[in-house]
Amino acid sequence: MKIWLITHSEELKKASGTGKLVKDILSDECEIIVWSRVSPNADILKLPPSNTLLIYLCENEQQRFCDDMTQSIHNIIIIDGTWQQARKIYNKSPYLQKFKHYEIQGVESAYSKRRNQKNIGLCTAEVTIHLLAKYKHSAAPLLSNKFIEFNQ
């Protein structure tokens, strides 16, 4: 499994961003892609929709992924930024809409470095921890512990 973080350029400037934490823990299993409206990343464009999942709100049932993701998904895309930035990235990147969407529900954020813009929002590290735990990935406890330290 590979995690692809499509990151808003402003997010990289913030000490409170957790995408860098995810990259530090996952190393080669994570790629940080700085989003560009005019130049989509070639590697993201090549990802096969059949085994790639986008973590984003499901606006319609056709987009929603309900299968066992641990069996069929090899690439996971997470949009890394504020809710406004994530919405902009998603809306200005039609190529993202070809991927099945997965929406994490019923999990409250513990992130305290910034005020969350939506009640349902999780930071990038929390999303990744959730996914790694679902996959029973060995890095899940390590990322969880590092996130707890970072969040204090």
* Average pLDDT for 126-148: 96
User: 93, 4 in Cβ contact below 8 A?
Assistant: no
Q: What is the pTM of this model?
A: 0.90
Domain interval for residue 55: 2-151
pLDDT at 37 over 60: yes
Residue 108 banded pLDDT, cuts 50, 70, 90: confident
Return the structure tokens found at 31. Answer: 């790629």
pLDDT number for residue 107: 85
Between 77 and 58, the more confident residue is 77
Return the structure tokens found at 132. Answer: 């790694």
Strand 100-102, strand 2-7: pairing = unpaired
Return the structure tokens found at 27. Answer: 């190393």
* Average pLDDT for 124-143: 95
* φ, ψ of residue 53 in degrees (nearest 5): -125, 135
* Average pLDDT for 41-51: 96
pLDDT above 90 covers a percentage of the chain that reads 66
* 56-73: pLDDT as tens digits: 876 655 555 555 565 688
Domain count, the chain: 1
pLDDT number for residue 105: 81
Among candidate residues 19, 17, 13, the one with its CA nearest the CA of residue 3 = 19
User: 8, 81 in Cβ contact below 8 A?
Assistant: yes
